[in-house]
Amino acid sequence: MQDLYLPIAAAVFAVIVVGLPVVLVRYRARPGRTPRPTRDRYAVDAVVALVLAAVVAVLVVVTLRTNDTETALAKPGFRVDAVAFQWGWQFSYPSRPGVVDRSAPGRPAKLHVPAGTTVEVSLRTRDVVHAFWIPDLRFKRDAWPRKTARFDLRFPAGTVAGVGHCAQYCGLKHSDMVFFVDAMDPARFASWSRTRGGRA
Partner 1 sequence: MSATVTPPFAPVRGLVGLAVGTDHKGVALRLGGAAFGFFLAGGVLALLMRGELAQPGMQVTSRGGYDQLFSMHGSTMIYLFVTPAALALGMYLVPLQIGAREIAWPRLNLIGFWLLVLGGLVMWSGFLTRNGAGSAAWTAEYPQSAAVRTPGPGMDLWCAGVALAALSGIALAACQLATIAGRRAPGMTLLRMPVFTWSMLVTCLMTVASFPALLLAMALLLADRHGAGVFDSAGGPAAYQNIFWFYGHPVVYVMFFPFLGAVLEVVATFSGRRVFGYRAIVISLLVFTALSMSVWGHHMFTTGQVANGYFSLTSTMLAVPAGLEYLAMVGTMVGGAIVLRTPMLFALGFIVQFLVGGLSGIYVASPPLDYHVHDSYFVVAHFHYTLLAGSVFGLFAGIYYWWPKVTGRLLFERLGRVHFWLFVVGTNVTFIPQFVLGYDGMPRRVADYSPAYGWAGWNTASTVGAGIVALSVLVFIVNVALTSLAGRRAGPDPWEAQTLEWATTSPPPRHNFTAALPAIRSHAPLLDLREEAIL
The H-or-E segment that residue 130 falls in is strand 130-134
Q: What residues between 125 and 164 interact with partner 1 by CB under 8 A?
A: 127-129, 131, 133, 135-136, 138-142, 144-147, 149, 163
Applying CB under 8 A, among 3, 18, 34, 199 the residue interacting with partner 1 is: 34
* 89 binds partner 1 per the rule CB under 8 A: no
Strand order in the sheet with 100-102: 100-102, 88-92, 78-85, 118-125, 149-154
| Stretch binding partner 1 (CB under 8 A), from 38-46, 96-104, 180-188, 192-200 | 38-46
User: Cα-atom radius of gyration of the chain, to the nearest Å?
Assistant: 25
Stretch that binds partner 1, among 39-47, 98-106, 111-119, 189-197 (CB under 8 A): 39-47
Report 164-183 residues binding partner 1 (CB under 8 A).
165-176, 178
Q: Smallest Cα–Cα separation from 87: which of 135, 153, 151, 143? A: 143
End-to-end C-alpha distance for the chain, whole angstroms: 36
CB of 196 to partner 1, least distance (A): 26
List the beta bridge partners of residue 102. 90
35 binds partner 1, rule: CB under 8 A: yes
105 lines the binding site for partner 1 (CB under 8 A): no
For the beta carbon of residue 138, count every other beta carbon within 10 angstroms. 10
Residue 165's closest CA among 181, 151, 178? 178
Q: Which residue, 98 or 106, has its beta carbon nearer to partner 1?
A: 106
CB of 56 to partner 1, least distance (A): 5
